[in-house]
Structure 1
Amino acid sequence: MSEPLRIALAGLGTVGGGVIRLLEANAALIARRAGRPITISAISARNRSKDRGVDLSGYAWEDDMVILGERPDVDVVVELVGGADGPALALARTTFEAGKALVTANKAMIAHHGLELATKAEAAKVAFKFEAAVAGGIPVIKALKEGAAANHIDRIYGILNGTCNYILSTMEDTGRDFADVLAEAQAKGFAESDPSFDIDGIDAAHKLAILSSIAFGTAVDFGPVAATGIRRVLAADIAQADALGYYIRLIGMAETEFDAAGQRRLFQRVHPMLVHRDHPLAHVDGATNAVVAEGNFVGRLLFQGAGAGDGPTASAVVADLIDIARGDIGAPFSIPAAELEQARPADSGHRTGKAYLRFTVADRPGVLAEITAAMRDAGVSIESLIQKGRAAVGSTETVLVAMVTHEGPESAIAEALRLLDGSPSLAAPPLVMHILED
């Protein structure tokens, strides 16, 4: 058997510990599939004395994790520290400059610096792999780069954040409101003590930017991704969606389109949506992730599985290591970095579809007429309108007014909301959720 693939491991949290346990438990199987053993030479983490439930005595320790990229006894660095910048980015740059391969689960770093790092990796002729950065243990990046490589991908979308999906599906099952379920998710370890990155859609937006680049051959670009989270979704919205035949899910969606001049534009949005109960994503619940890719020859592909956790994410990390042990380098984003297209952001205003709008309004005569007049003046056609029970907002008695529009341009909805902006009848900003039918 060939010489071992020697790795250094930066970050010994949940996933880092999982990688060590997996490499130890399945060492013989991994060696047979990789064609050579995969061994750990050195490790680094913030706290050397912390008990992580694994024996670390056989590995060299580096207090400065950046040094891992320069060690002569290391072939591949595995970065599991996280963060778009700081030590993780310094380690990645040092690793490529030293001519070594990098495996990472750091979606924020890739979303913000992926093009730079891919360029460095290709210049050094080393691997840069990040299967674990998107959808945990689901091999969606490999599927796009390899299994669907012959296809034009028309659209890619899915449930990319397990925390949000757990919250929404629990609200659905129990009728409880957002704050209550979020507290439970934090107690169970499904949500961080500061859950902002998850519930505000930023985590899903990082992942969507990565998937977009691979699917469409465009330069990874997080900046234009429009992200809206789930903070404002009420139990009443969940109940109303169910009555209409939908479930609410936080969906990341990307597709390319052409403008009037024939130039390709890239649409990227993370947004809570009403998903028709017949759609496969409607029944993805708990902390599960799912990704749909639509190719021009292969049709619709659905990938579903655990989106986080030590086992699934460690599995994705080690799968990347096995590929490197076999000699697989390849372009990190499937196409060489210099050939990735700099696609301009698409304007969402001309996009057409149905939408759910919910207004929290003062409980007084004339309010409903004001809302419907704004819809009429903006050219929004209303399919159904429902006025639901009362809720206290501050000291004002309010009611919820929900409506579903007929299919029409998003620009018309934006104009209707502009007309209503500043109205004393509105006790809170309106909530808009687009509808995913097919």
Structure 2
Amino acid sequence: MTSAPAIVRVGLLGCGNVGGPLVSLVDERREAIVDGAGVRLDITRVAVRSLTRDRGLDLDDGVLTLDAESVATDPDIDVVVELIGGIEPARELILAALGAGKPVVTGNKELIANHGAELAEAAARAGVDLLFEAAVAGGIPIVRPLRESLAGEDITRVMGIVNGTTNFILTRMTEEGTGYADALAEAQSLGYAERDPTADVEGYDAGAKAAIIASLAFGTRVVAGDVYHEGISGISAHDIASASRLDHVIKLLAVCERLPGADGPEVAVRVHPAMVPAQHPLAGVRDSFNAVFVEGASVGDLMFYGRGAGGGPTASAVLGDLVDAAVNRTKGTAAAVGFGGRARIRPIDEQRSPFYLSLDVEDRPGVLRSIAEVFETHDVSIRSLEQEGIGADARIVLITHVAREADLRATVRDLRGLPTVHEVGSVIRVVASEE
């Protein structure tokens, strides 16, 4: 005789763009989850900001409440799902739920990137789960592979496209010749970008995700403030065209590396636009899709690809964590979350990369020599150089060999001081073709 499934009562904090699809997905998948995992999920209470808003959901009377704290601490709730976003009150509510012995599932990247270690310690003290697959790449499963499947792997670098908004904008600029402002407006009209797109287009969103990835991949504690970030608002049509001519595409990348240092391993984490060789797997990631490229000493190269944003894909990732938390709850077990201790974060000035530069210059003899002398002074080697246009429209486009950030910045400073250089345009890092 088949035993009855364990009923797991779920308290949901927030019922917006992800919470609403999650409720629908639980209803749709309930029997399949019973068959596959042996647990029946019952969304018992849902904390919201308004009781009168029509959410298009079939919820029983009394399920909705304005009292989020009561949901977090209700003894009749078995698992809490936090989808409010932001730092507070989400942090206090999660700590309250963990303190009450409840597993917590969250998709809150900002919170995990800044307070993940604190929350993980609280979960460990309570002996319950803290799961956050949806906090990094929406529907793409990357947190669990880093925590579990690749736990014994010597991961050297994780590099990826982890913001769908910026990838959509850059795709439109590359494939349609759309200007940045128009591409952003289209992203907003389609719901990919917020009314205030700063977090996406200036790299803050990707930076928070990079901090989480680096913490998991390298077993060390990295917070959002450790991540250097640049956005895409300065990328021009000329940059897009130059990249194409050089057989590259421009992507906003999150790059997490573990590097040898004088006093032990160091971690370098940054987010910035980069020229990616057209042959690289990340170059073909289009529109709002995301991809994460993992490099390990034994496993080699892996890539995780899919829809990284949107209510449905993100709700799917939350549901996967919720099922895990529910099963573990019934078994009295929990998955360990290791953020590790603090490692030395390598400052951006000490990091190294090839660079692309464009210079508006005077078209007369001696200009190239004076430019080359500046590069030589700061020990930055030029890999390729070409001139576009003549006369007043003369522009030099060049790519360097791998150079230290501080040396490149000093080079740019001195180039701006040359009377023959009218303007230093874009400075974009390049993903080396052999990587």
Structure 2-normalised TM-score? Answer: 0.92
Give the alignment partner of residue 330 of structure 1, picking from 326, 332, 335: 335
CA contact (8 A) 2:416 2:424 kept: no
1:162 equivalent to 2:167? Answer no
Which residue in 2 is equivalent to 1:412?
407
Q: Deviations over 1:383-419 (max 9, x none)?
A: 23344469xxxxxx87654211133333331220232
AA matched with 1:190: Y
Distance (whole Å) between structure 2 residues aligned to residue 423 and residue 46 of structure 1: 58
Q: CA deviation at 1:168?
A: 0.7
Counterparts of 2:341 and 2:62, CA distance in 1: 42
Residue 140 of structure 1 pairs with residue 142 of structure 2? yes
**Alpha-carbon distance in 2 for matches of 1:388, 1:194:** 36
Tell me how far apart the structure 2 counterparts of residues 371 and 99 of structure 1 sit (CA, whole Å).
Answer: 64
Aligned to 1:57: 60
Name the CA shift for 1:371/1:53 in 2 (closer, same or farther; >3 Å): farther
**Is structure 2 residue 28 aligned with structure 1 residue 28?**
no
**Is contact 2:228-2:348 (8 Å) kept?**
no
With over 3 angstroms needed to count, the CA separation of the structure-2 counterparts of 1:141 and 1:379, relative to structure 1, is: same
Give the equivalent residue in structure 2 for 1:108. Answer: 110
Output aligned runs, 1:18-417, within 5 Å: 18-58=21-61, 60-83=63-86, 85-261=87-263, 263-327=264-328, 329-332=334-337, 335=338, 340-359=340-359, 361=360, 371-388=371-388, 400-417=395-412
Query: Secondary structure in 2 aligned to 1:176?
Result: coil
Over 3 Å counting, the alpha-carbon distance change for 1:371 and 1:56 in structure 2 is farther
Q: Decide whether the 8 Å contact of 2:211 with 2:226 is kept in 1.
A: no
Structure 2 CA distance for partners of 1:410 and 1:41, relative to 1, 3 Å: same
More displaced 10-residue stretch of structure 1: 413-422 or 363-372: 363-372
Query: Are the structure 2 counterparts of residues 44 and 399 from structure 1 closer, same or farther at C-alpha, using a change threshold of 3 Å?
Result: farther
CA distance in 1, matches of 2:277, 2:385: 18
Letter in 2 for 1:283: G
Q: Which whole-Å CA distance do the structure 2 matches of 1:107 and 1:323 have between them?
A: 19
Structure 2 counterpart SS, 1:67: helix
Q: How many residues are matched? A: 424
Say if 1:53 and 1:274 are closer, same or farther in 2 by CA, change over 3 A: same
Which one-letter code corresponds to 1:273 in the other structure?
A: A
The one-letter code matched in structure 1 to 2:18 is V
Q: Is contact 1:8-1:43 (8 Å) kept? A: yes
Counterpart position of 1:433: 429
Given that 1:358 and 1:432 are in contact with CA atoms closer than 8 Å, whether structure 2 keeps it comes out as no
Task: Note closer, same or farther for the CA distance 1:287–1:221 as it changes in structure 2 (3 Å cut).
Answer: same
Deviates more, 1:425-434 or 1:54-63: 425-434
Opposite residue 433 of structure 1, the aligned amino acid is R
DSSP-derived class of the 1:302 partner: strand
CA contact (8 A) 1:136 1:316 kept: yes
Q: Percent identity?
A: 40
Root mean square deviation, CA, Å: 2.1
Q: Residues 41 and 59 of structure 1 are in contact (CA less than 8 Å); yes or no, is this contact kept in structure 2?
A: no
Answer whether contact 1:352 1:408 (CA < 8 A) is retained.
yes
Q: What's the CA shift string for 1:205-233, capped at 9, x where partnerless? A: 11111011111100132211101111111
CA contact (8 A) 2:235 2:426 kept: no
Counterpart residue number, 1:394: none
Q: Deviations over 1:73-102 (max 9, x none)?
A: 21111111111x222112112111211111
List gaps (5 residues or longer) in structure 2. none
- Cα deviation, 1:14-60, whole Å, max 9, x if unaligned, reads 11111011001111001222211011010012222222221233452
1:167-225 CA distance string (max 9 Å, x none) = 11111101122111111111111111100000111101111110111111001322111
Could you tell me which amino acid in structure 1 is paired with residue 409 of structure 2? A
Q: Distance in 2 between matches of 1:377 and 1:161?
A: 38
Q: TM-score normalized by structure 1?
A: 0.91
Amino acid across the alignment from 1:35: G
- Kindly state the Cα deviation for residue 147 of structure 1 after the two structures are TM-superposed: 1.6
Separation in structure 1 between the aligned mates of residue 96 and residue 362 of structure 2, nearest angstrom: 62
User: Do the aligned residues in 1 keep the contact of 2:45 with 2:65 (CA within 8 Å)?
Assistant: yes
In structure 2, what residue type is equivalent to 1:46?
R
User: 2:44, 2:299 → 1: CA distance?
Assistant: 42
The answer for unaligned runs of 5 or more in structure 1 is 391-396
Q: Which amino acid aligns with 2:379?
A: G
Alpha-carbon distance in structure 2 between the residues aligned to 1:135 and 1:26: 22
